[in-house]
Amino acid sequence: MLITLTTDFGIQDGYVGTMKGVMARIAPGVSFVDITHTVPPQDVRSTAYILWTVLPYFSRESVHLVVVDPGVGTMRRPIAAQTGWGMLVGPDNGVFSFVWESTPPELIVELANPEYRLPVVSRTFHGRDVFSPAAAYLARGVSLSEMGPQVVDPIRLTSAKMRVAANRIQGQVLYIDHFGNIITSIGRLLWRGDTLCLQPVLANPEIEEMYFPATAARVSVAGRDIGPIRHTYGEVPVGTPLALVGSEGMLELAVNQRHGAQVLKIMLGDSVDIVLS
């Protein structure tokens, strides 16, 4: 059985190792995959995006443990959910929202059964005391329904919507990666020769599939012109801003071989537009 880990704990401290120790003791022989431990601290929305991009590549039998938990110790619920992309374990703070838009949860429960926690639960490290034991017991085959009562009103983030109006496609900055590449909520875009096909994802069902020539598109972010949509970074000189279709099909902004978000002074939530001529 495989358990993945996604946290904002970093790699300097022993928090991740402690959680793995708890899980290995409960479920000997379990395998671990570290998705990332360098999520910006308390950044639930960025975590939601990372999970949406990564989890489709794992088997349905995987257990995905997520601890990005600014509400630890408060009234927020610890939850687990079964989806088509595997079992999810983490805080009820919206972190699974984007996954659920693509693969709706079949069952969500509150992790309330004390049999599947450590004997002593701290107020500040539920990753060790609540989430890790639950993930390990699920990996051992314990039924999700044994973990606690069903949850029917999970917290969901406001969807990263697009708008299409006349000759304009509007979105926002959704995520900034390690390289400074700026991923937007505009997508999914697919190349069809020199034409782009827009197939909406992330809770945009009201927008119909549309086609437009790439040469007719001009991109701007926070009011700054970036230019047309390119195929790859190397189409512009080093240090030059560009727009392109990223690996997940989302419109991406970058600066060739530079940290795009720093150079362009872009922040999460900034507006992004494609204007079609």
φ, ψ dihedrals at 41, nearest 5°: -50, 130
Token pair for residue 201?
């994802």
Reported as a single tens digit per residue, the pLDDT across 81-140 is 999 999 999 999 999 999 999 999 999 999 999 999 999 999 999 999 999 999 999 999
Supply the pLDDT for residue 205. 64
CB 54 within 8 A of CB 39: no
Please say whether the beta carbons of 168 and 276 come within 8 A. Answer: yes
The CATH architecture annotation of domain 163-276 reads Beta Barrel (2.40)
Helix 132-139 and helix 15-26, axial crossing angle in degrees, nearest 10: 40
Most distant CA pair in the chain: distance in Å?
A: 64
Residue 60, pLDDT above cutoff 70: yes
- Tell me how far apart the alpha carbons of residues 204 and 159 are, in angstroms, rounded to a whole number: 9
DSSP string for 111-171: ---GGGS-SS--SS-HIIIIIHHHHHHHHTT--GGGSS-B-SS---PPP---EEETTEEEE
Domain range summary for the chain, segments of one domain joined by + = 2-146, 163-276
Q: Which pLDDT band holds residue 201 (cuts at 50, 70, 90)?
A: confident
Mean pLDDT of the chain: 95
| Whole-structure pTM value | 0.93
Task: Give me the pLDDT at residue 203, please.
Answer: 62
Condensed to tens digits (0 to 9), the pLDDT of residues 233-263 reads 999 999 999 999 999 999 999 999 999 999 9
Q: Give the mean model confidence (pLDDT) for residues 70-80.
A: 95
Alpha carbon distance 239, 237 (integer Å): 6
Could you give the CA distance from residue 268 to residue 182 in angstroms, rounded to a whole number?
Answer: 9
Q: What's the CATH class of domain 2-146?
A: alpha beta
